[in-house]
Amino acid sequence: MSVPLLPIRIESEWLLIHANLIQEILGAQPWLSIPHTRRELPGVVAWRGRAIPLVDLGAVLGLSALASKLSRPRTLIGQVDGGFLAVPVDEAREVQIFTADQIRVAHAVPRPHSVSEAEIQGLVMPILELPSLLASLTHSHLVAPEA
Amino acid sequence: MLRTLTARCLLAFLLLEILFAPLVLIAFEQLIGIEGYAPAHWLLASAAILKALLWGPFLAVQLKPYERFKRLPASARSPSVVNQADSALQALSYRFGAFYAISWVIAYAVIAALLLILGAEHLPNGPRVVEAVLLLLGGLGFGSFAFGFPLIGMLSANAASECCAFAVKHGILLERAPKSLQVRIGVVAIALALGPTLWMTALGYMKQVQSSQDLRTLAAELANARLSALVQDSLARDKPRAALQTLVEAASQAPLKSFVLVPDGTTIAADGDAQAAEQDHELRDWTKAHKARGNFLLSRLDLARIATLERLSTGYAVLTVLDAPVSVPRGFGLSAAIFVLVVGIWAPVCALILSRAISSPIERLTRAASLVVEEGELSKMGALPVEQSDEVGVLTEKFNDLMNLMRSLSQAAQGIATGDLRVEISGTGELPNAFRSMLAGLRDIVAQIGETSVDLASAAAEIFAASQEQESAAASQSSAMVEISRTMDSLSNSAAHVSDAVQGVLSNAERTLKNTDEMVQRIGQLSSHAGRIGEILEVIRDIADKSDLLALNGSLEASRAGEGGRGFALVAGEMRRLAERVTASVQDVKKLVYDIRESGSSTVMATEESRKLAEGTTEAARQITFVTQQQRSGTEQVSQSVKNIADVVAQAVSATSQTRTSAQSLKTRADTLASIVRQFRVNETKAA
């Protein structure tokens, strides 16, 4: 069984995202800030005539959050549970195909919403579980927005 | 109105006319016997007023030059104006005196003529008054001249003095003809003597005429009374008419003619007398008018006969006619003529004697004054004799005092002239005081000149020594000036060389500036091209970015395609890497372009600095050129000035030499002056 993973970089941090969740990779996209929202979901992005939530992985990973009206060079359009979301990243590489044995349980550096990891050219990258992330963000968002 | 001399003179004469004219009028009326004739008063008053009215125009004409002199400001009074005014004033006494006398004579002559022509019947003295009036006119003429001549002279004396003072003050020579005081006194004396003499002669003449008239009247009345008594007696005795005829013929002895007027209208008269009486219409009419009314007398100076009529109680009347005109004794005319002649001769002789008595001392004073003023013979002139103690005598005494004073002052001046300043000046007054002040001043001046001459000799010696030193210093200075002049010429040549060199620097700096400007322009073009390359690189980068995205999305699509998309995934990966390399290369090129632009900017800035330096060099070169030219010009001017100074110093050397010579001469003259001053004899105490 092969697993396609998309390497992305947030600042100096390399991550892997399941490529089958990504619908499209765009350049830097403008986004609209929404007040009184969590810092991981700071606003929305216009995509194909609709507004989709913006997920700031920098805030999620404890790195620097997006500043207002600034974006990252690449914007990933993902689809989770029938919903779309936009994930700005600093860099993306071509999809890498991994076998099951190449994916192992995360042990190097624990990352939130990451339970496994893979190695590309000697660099171990955690695999971000986007549905888990979105679920936690959506649930938390409904319970208590960030003060 | 009285500001003019004409008005003052006229007013004076009119006032005196008011005083004297009534007296003269009364005397004239008394003389010719018309004091009761009213028209005569008006004629005389009118003539007096007309006569006075003529004086004003005459005075105005005569004094016109003087009034013009008075009206003009002092600055506008020319010598001719002053001379005309003075001539008018000098001639005024004679001219107005004569006019004044003539006006009197003509006025009374006209009045007398009018009275004789128009009112002869009112002149009781008849034709005889003509001679009296002629004499009276002569008296009036001389008398009025004797009055008017000195009076007008007195009134115009101040004006003549004013003219003379103005002429003396302004150096104007008055053209006055010399006049004799004796002649003036003689003329006045003749007029004074003949005026009253002729008046009194006229009065005496009229008294003689009146006496003759009285005698005629008395003789006629006496004869008529005697005949009346005889006729009355004859009528009382009832004598016949023949007796009356005898009485009448006896009484009618020439120059008497007697008549008896009978009540029946006939007249008893001597033979021939009745016809003569009948032809005398005036006598006939007068007899008819008066024979019935008592005693009457027909007696007038202008009638050749006198008639007296006495009416008797019997109705008869006796008429006696004395046919003898008024006569003045021949002795009176002769004695009057002799008297007038004697007075006419005596008066000028007396006047001559009197005027000579007055003028002789004055002439002596005049000669003495002329001797002093014109010839300056003060020492030869002795004291003038004082004949009387009157004003002339006092004047002579004062003149002698003045001459004594002048003599003492002259002696003092001679002493001063010989250098004797020890003389003493006596006397009081401005002149002795002035002499004393002058003498004191001379003493001070001599003392000061003496001191000054000594100082001058000392100063001249010092000047001589200083001149010698100055001459040698000036010679050294002159040679130094020549050396400085040469140095300045050398400086001027150096400045010319510097100017040429700086001109070359300026040319190079200007070329550098031009090249720098071209370099800046080229670098600007290079920067512009680099900017264009940057734009192209941005397009390439954008294309690479889009290729990267396409490759990523292709990779996604290949992963979705599974095994079938593996080859496409490889292509997409290669394509992404290619895009990545392109992007990296673009970044490198952009960096290079940036470096080029940065280098260009640095070059531009460096070039700008270089340009500023070139501009500064150019400006400095220009300033150096300008300063060098100024230096060259200044050096040339200084060189010229030094040459001029050298000339001046050379002249100063010459002048100093002359000064030395002059100082030597000055010392000699100062010594001479000191010896001259020592010749003055001054009291030691006063000199000290």
Span B549-568, pLDDT tens digits: 999 999 899 888 888 888 88
SS3 B442: helix
Q: Treating both helix axes as pointing N-terminal to C-terminal, what angle do B391-417 and B430-561 enclose, rounded to 10 degrees?
A: 60
pLDDT band at B684; cut points 50, 70, 90 = low
Give the mean pLDDT of B23-37.
78
SS3 B380: coil
List chain A residues with CB under 8 Å of B546: 27
d(CA B575, CA B580): 8
pLDDT exceeds cutoff 60 at B301: yes
Give the mean pLDDT of B324-343.
80
Q: Which residue has the tokens 């020439």?
A: B254
A vs B, Cβ pairs < 8 A, gives 41
pLDDT exceeds cutoff 90 at B369: no
A22:B573 CB<8 A: no
Q: Is residue A146 part of a domain?
A: no
Give the mean pLDDT of A87-111.
87
Looking at beta carbons, which pairs linking B52-58 to residues 24 or more positions away fall under 8 Å? B52/B13, B52/B14, B52/B17, B52/B21, B54/B99, B54/B103, B55/B10, B55/B13, B55/B14, B55/B96, B55/B99, B55/B100, B55/B103, B56/B6, B56/B10, B58/B96, B58/B99
Q: What is the DSSP letter of B299?
A: -
Give the mean pLDDT of B177-206.
83
The pLDDT score that the predictor gives to residue B683 is 66
The pLDDT score that the predictor gives to residue A86 is 94
List chain B residues with CB under 8 Å of A74: 549, 552
Q: Best interface-test mutation with B: which of A95, A99, A120 has the largest number of B CBs within 10 A? A: A95
3-state secondary structure chain A: CEEEEEEEEECCEEEEEEHHHEEEEECCCCEEECCCCCCCCCEEEEECCEEEEECCHHHHCCCCCCCCCCCCCEEEEEEECCEEEEEEECEECCCEEEEHHHCEECCCCCCCCEEEEEEECCEEEEEECHHHHHHHHHHHHHHCCCC
d(CA B27, CA B613): 134
Considering only CB atoms, B556 lies closest to which of A19, A27, A74, namely: A19
List chain A residues with CB under 8 Å of B560: 4, 19-20
Q: Which residue has the tokens 């006619």?
A: B321
Secondary structure element (H or E) that encloses residue B153, with its range = helix B128-155
* Strand A43-47 with A50-54, pairing: antiparallel
Instruction: Let me know: does B682 contact B447? Beta carbons within 8 Å.
Output: yes
Instruction: Let me know: does A24 contact A77? Beta carbons within 8 Å.
Output: yes
Report the percentage of chain A scoring pLDDT > 90: 51
Instruction: Let me know: does A77 contact A86? Beta carbons within 8 Å.
Output: yes
Domain boundaries, chain B: 5-179, 217-328, 332-418, 460-677
**Among residues 74-93 of chain A, which lie with CB inside 8 Å of chain B?**
74, 92-93
pLDDT exceeds cutoff 70 at A108: no
Q: Is residue A147 part of a domain?
A: no
pLDDT band at B688; cut points 50, 70, 90 = very low
Lookup: tokens for B361: 């001392």
pLDDT band at B363; cut points 50, 70, 90 = confident
Secondary structure element (H or E) that encloses residue B258, with its range = strand B256-261
Give the mean pLDDT of B249-256.
85
pLDDT band at B125; cut points 50, 70, 90 = low
Give the mean pLDDT of B634-658.
80
User: Between the ranges A31-40, B236-245, B412-421, where is the mean pLDDT highest?
Assistant: A31-40
Using CA coordinates, name the residue in chain A closest to B580: A93
Report the percentage of chain B scoring pLDDT > 70: 97
How close is the nearest chain A Cα to the Cα of B592, in Å?
Answer: 23
Q: The complex's ipTM?
A: 0.88
B549:A26 CB<8 A: yes
Q: Is residue A136 part of a domain?
A: yes
Nearest to A117 by CA among A98, A134, A132: A98
Nearest to B224 by CA among B324, B312, B323, B321: B321
Lookup: tokens for A31: 């986004």
Give the mean pLDDT of B309-337.
82
pLDDT exceeds cutoff 50 at B432: yes
Q: Is the minimum CB–CB distance between B544 and chain A shorter than 8 Å?
A: no
pLDDT band at B687; cut points 50, 70, 90 = very low
How close is the nearest chain A Cα to the Cα of B586, in Å?
Answer: 17
Which sign does the torsion angle of CA B471, B472, B473, B479 carry? positive
pLDDT exceeds cutoff 60 at A147: no
User: Which range is least confidently modeled, A39-48, B373-382, B393-402?
Assistant: B373-382
Considering only CB atoms, A25 lies closest to which of B556, B566, B569, namely: B556
Using CA coordinates, name the residue in chain A closest to B572: A94
Lookup: tokens for A110: 């624990």
Query: pLDDT: is A102 or B289 the higher one?
Result: A102
Q: Best interface-test mutation with A: which of B542, B550, B556 has the largest number of A CBs within 10 A? A: B556
Give the mean pLDDT of B113-137.
74
Give the mean pLDDT of B121-137.
74
* Strand A74-80 with A22-26, pairing: antiparallel
How close is the nearest chain A Cα to the Cα of B581, in Å?
Answer: 13
Using CA coordinates, name the residue in chain B closest to A23: B556
DSSP B611-630: HHHHHHHHHHHHHHHHHHHH
B569:A97 CB<8 A: yes
Q: Is the minimum CB–CB distance between B587 and chain A shorter than 8 Å?
A: no
What is the residue range of A87's domain?
Answer: 2-141
Lookup: tokens for B422: 């020890």
From first CA to last CA, the distance across chain A in angstroms is 44
pLDDT exceeds cutoff 90 at A16: yes
d(CA B343, CA B472): 104
Give the mean pLDDT of B465-475.
80
Considering only CB atoms, B572 lies closest to which of A4, A26, A94, namely: A94
A95:B558 CB<8 A: yes
Considering only CB atoms, A19 lies closest to which of B559, B566, B576, namely: B559
List chain A residues with CB under 8 Å of B572: 94
Report the percentage of chain B scoring pLDDT > 90: 10
- Residue B255: cis peptide before it, omega within 30 degrees of 0: yes
pLDDT exceeds cutoff 90 at B281: no
Q: Is residue A23 part of a domain?
A: yes
d(CA A42, CA A137): 11
Q: Is the minimum CB–CB distance between B549 and chain A shorter than 8 Å?
A: yes
Report the percentage of chain A scoring pLDDT > 70: 93
What CATH number corresponds to the domain at position A83? Answer: 2.40.50.180
Q: Best interface-test mutation with B: which of A21, A77, A94, A96 has the largest number of B CBs within 10 A? A: A94
pTM, full prediction? 0.48
Q: How many angstroms from the chain centroid is the CA of residue B27?
A: 49
List chain B residues with CB under 8 Å of A72: none
Nearest to B283 by CA among B261, B250, B316: B261
Q: How many angstroms from the chain centroid is the CA of residue B132?
A: 54
pLDDT exceeds cutoff 50 at B381: yes
Give the mean pLDDT of B455-469.
82
Give the mean pLDDT of B270-292.
80
Lookup: tokens for B645: 């100074």
Contacts of B359 (CB under 8 A, 6+ apart): B181, B182
Span B570-625, pLDDT tens digits: 888 888 889 888 988 888 888 888 888 788 788 878 878 877 887 888 888 888 87
Give the mean pLDDT of A85-99.
92
pLDDT exceeds cutoff 70 at A132: yes
d(CA B168, CA B160): 12
Q: What is the number of structural domains in chain A?
A: 1
A25:B552 CB<8 A: yes
pLDDT band at A9; cut points 50, 70, 90 = very high
List chain B residues with CB under 8 Å of A93: 552, 576
Instruction: Let me know: does B137 contact B108? Beta carbons within 8 Å.
Output: yes
Give the mean pLDDT of B620-649.
80
List chain B residues with CB under 8 Å of A97: 559, 566, 569
d(CA B613, CA B90): 106
Query: Which residues on neighbouring strands pair with residue A31, listed in sequence order?
Result: A45
B556:A93 CB<8 A: no
User: Between the ranges A92-106, A131-145, B233-247, B415-429, where is the mean pLDDT highest?
Assistant: A92-106
Burial level of B432, CB count in 10 A (0-12/13-18/19+)? middle
d(CA B399, CA B394): 8
Give the mean pLDDT of B216-229.
90
B560:A20 CB<8 A: yes
Give the mean pLDDT of A94-106.
89
Q: Is the minimum CB–CB distance between B569 and chain A shorter than 8 Å?
A: yes
The number of beta carbons lying within 10 Å of the beta carbon of residue B95 is 17
Instruction: Let me know: does B274 contact B259? Beta carbons within 8 Å.
Output: yes
The number of beta carbons lying within 10 Å of the beta carbon of residue B259 is 26
d(CA B263, CA B316): 6
Using CA coordinates, name the residue in chain A closest to B552: A94
pLDDT exceeds cutoff 80 at B117: no
Name which CATH class applies to B460-677. Answer: mainly alpha
List chain A residues with CB under 8 Å of B556: 6, 19, 22, 24-25, 95
Secondary structure element (H or E) that encloses residue B102, with its range = helix B79-118
Average pLDDT, chain B: 83
The number of beta carbons lying within 10 Å of the beta carbon of residue B611 is 19
Q: Which residue has the tokens 């009253």?
A: B196
**Among residues 91-120 of chain A, which lie with CB inside 8 Å of chain B?**
92-95, 97
Q: Which residue has the tokens 């697993």?
A: A3
Q: Is the minimum CB–CB distance between A146 and chain B shorter than 8 Å?
A: no
> Does this chain's domain B217-328 share its CATH topology with B460-677?
no
pLDDT exceeds cutoff 60 at B247: yes
d(CA B163, CA B579): 138
DSSP B167-226: HHHTTPPP-PPP--HHHHHHHHHHHHHHHHHHHHHHHHHHHHHHHHHHHHHHHHHHHHHH
Secondary structure element (H or E) that encloses residue B405, with its range = helix B391-417
The pLDDT score that the predictor gives to residue B122 is 65
d(CA B280, CA B270): 16
Q: What is the CATH number of domain B217-328?
A: 3.30.450
